[in-house]
Amino acid sequence: MAQAPRITKFRLEVERQNWTYEAFVRRWRKACNELAALDREPGLALLPLSRRTYWRWMNGEVTAPQQAPARVLEHLFGLPAKTLLEEQPRGTLFAALVEQRNWNYPAFAGHWERSRRELAQRDGEPRLADVRVTRRTYMHWKSGDLAGLPRPDAARILEYIFGVPVAKLMDRPSHVHHEGATAVTGAGLARAGTMSGDGNSVGMQRLAAETIDSIVRRYEARGPYELAGEALLLRRVVHTLLTTASSPDAEQLTLASKAAGLLAYMAVNAGLQELADTFCAEAESFAIGAGDTSLRMWVHGTRALNYYYMGDYRLSYEAAEAGVALAPDSPQAIRLLVNGQARALARLGDGKSAGHAVARALSLSERQAKLPVGITSCISFQPYSYARTLANAITAHLSAGDPKRVLQYADEIEDLVAGSDSQWTKALVGLDVATALLQQPRPDVERAIALGQAAVRTGGARPIESVRQRSAELLTSARRWRNEPLVGEYAEELNALQRTPPPELLSTTDA
């Protein structure tokens, strides 16, 4: 009998991203180019990856790749190559039960459909009949590579089918709970988690709303790694509200959407693409239930941002376009046009259309009776302020190869950026200006690298994904001058920063 393939972390990560060999190779080549620029080793850009090697990694036939491929793997996934190729436990109790019953996905989907109808009729809750399960979700439940437990309605159907608590169905030995990932700064939230009964619901809702506002205010100073635990506890408190309410109202559903939205945005900033997608889906579901079009548009914008930093600019544009279509004249469309459509179109090589999207965003801004002042927090649920819109227009014009417009907009918001509490905005605008200085007909290398160094230091020891990517892009733009001492110093500084592993954002059992 043939031996079953070893299940490796590499395989789980690739399947979680739904990457084919061709899709993985595209990311491999991008990682090779980035690493070649960072380490000033041009040969790395040519490192091949055969289909045979890919499948040997997928099937766990290799435990220690050669040095160069190992470095690229570590750069691509942010994990040691040895960890990526270690064998993983084989799944959950759910996996064991469906295998015991010989249920592949179509067979399980049939049982699911029948059970959701029966449960909806039994409990008098018609919405349960509409709860669906995709093949991708089915595979996640089997592998145990989860971002938390299934949503409440899905959990009820699972428990109805198997007669086992959903926490046990999804249990997997390798899932270790990290208490540090849920450290909470708000003692009031912790107390709220112990409240029960209708009498406390108003107080819990008020506390949840205040916590959302507080996280938004503190986010750019504290970042995702410090605030994720508080956001997770917020989400639990709000879910307690939903489960104890006889019929959740629009305000409660809006709070649930915003709690998931905060976590989605944090996951984008931490480069956790699959987790971001999971929380975006949750946030959108609750926003639809609340009938909150503005919030739905915000979720589309966050989804577009996630695709953008994944490098899938077509999907990024489409997500933003779908959001704009919900309410083209809404102030939320400003973010979708400039942060979503314009930047993605510029990356796709359509500078003309990118410019039109920027112009539409600016025109829509001018038509608003009132917008936030200054530079709004990147995670805010409010519409973009005019300065935040210009900051994003700078990035779009940079990608479209228009350094003159970049420098013009940067000069317009220079004072606001300098006086802002947003260290990330300072870093990102600084990096965009630095790259534009290299794109000019007469490049100013010294000033560009000085700005880049200042921006990287401003971004902190644990840079968010956007700062990480753009600082690397500046180095790539400076490769013509790689023999200049300043460029070499920037490369060394950036290399040290990129190799610093970030702390774990979320425990898989917490999401």
Return per-residue pLDDT of the chain as tens, 511 residues.
334 456 677 877 786 666 788 888 888 988 888 888 877 887 788 888 888 888 888 878 887 788 889 989 988 887 788 888 887 655 687 887 776 566 888 889 888 998 899 889 888 889 999 999 988 888 888 877 665 678 889 989 998 887 767 877 887 543 323 322 333 334 444 444 444 444 456 777 888 898 999 999 888 877 887 788 888 888 988 988 888 877 888 999 999 999 999 999 999 988 888 889 999 999 999 999 999 999 999 999 999 999 999 999 999 999 999 999 999 999 999 999 999 999 999 999 999 999 999 999 999 999 998 898 888 889 999 999 998 999 999 999 999 989 999 999 888 888 888 777 677 788 888 899 999 999 888 989 998 888 888 877 765 556 677 887 888 888 888 888 988 888 888 888 777 666 555 545 554 334 4
Rounded CA-CA distance 261/180 in Å is 22
Residue 180: its pLDDT value, please? 29
pTM, two decimal places: 0.60
Rounded CA-CA distance 186/238 in Å is 15
Residue 413: name the closest of 429, 432, 424, 395 by CA: 429
Q: Please work out, in degrees rounded to the nearest 5, the angle formed at the alpha carbon of residue 131 by the alpha carbons of 130 and 132.
A: 110
Rounded CA-CA distance 278/199 in Å is 32
Residue 30: its pLDDT value, please? 87
**Do the Cβ atoms of 397 and 421 come closer than 8 Å?**
no
Tokens 């018609």 identify what position? 126
**Do the Cβ atoms of 307 and 313 come closer than 8 Å?**
yes
Residue 458: its pLDDT value, please? 66
What tokens appear for 487 in the block? 């460029």
Number of H-type helices and E-type strands within the chain: 27, 0
The CA distances from residue 423 to 215, 414, 456, 475, in Å, are: 16, 14, 10, 20
**Do the Cβ atoms of 364 and 341 come closer than 8 Å?**
no
Task: Report the C-alpha dihedral over residues 456, 459, 465, 471, rounded to 10 degrees.
Answer: -20
List of residues 6+ apart from 134 with CB closer than 8 A: none
Rounded CA-CA distance 203/215 in Å is 18
Rounded CA-CA distance 371/333 in Å is 13
Rounded CA-CA distance 285/291 in Å is 10
3-state secondary structure (DSSP) of residue 192: helix
List of residues 6+ apart from 376 with CB closer than 8 A: 382, 384, 385, 388
**Do the Cβ atoms of 157 and 119 come closer than 8 Å?**
yes
Residue 195: its pLDDT value, please? 44
Tokens 């989804």 identify what position? 303
**Do the Cβ atoms of 301 and 339 come closer than 8 Å?**
yes
Beta-carbon count within 10 A of 100 CB: 8
Backbone conformation region of residue 62, classed left if phi is above 0, alpha if psi is from -120 to 50, else beta: beta
Specify the DSSP class assigned to residue 183.
Answer: -
Tokens 């200006």 identify what position? 433
Rounded CA-CA distance 331/376 in Å is 14
Beta bridge partners of 8: 87
The CA distances from residue 183 to 255, 282, 507, in Å, are: 21, 23, 12
Tokens 């302020």 identify what position? 385
**Do the Cβ atoms of 143 and 89 come closer than 8 Å?**
no
Q: What is the 3-state secondary structure (H, E, C) of 292-346?
A: CHHHHHHHHHHHHHHHHHHCCHHHHHHHHHHHHHHCCCCCHHHHHHHHHHHHHHH
**Do the Cβ atoms of 296 and 288 come closer than 8 Å?**
yes
Residue 301: its pLDDT value, please? 97
Task: Report the C-alpha dihedral over residues 391, 393, 397, 398, rounded to 10 degrees.
Answer: 30
* Terminal Cα-to-Cα distance of the chain (whole angstroms): 39
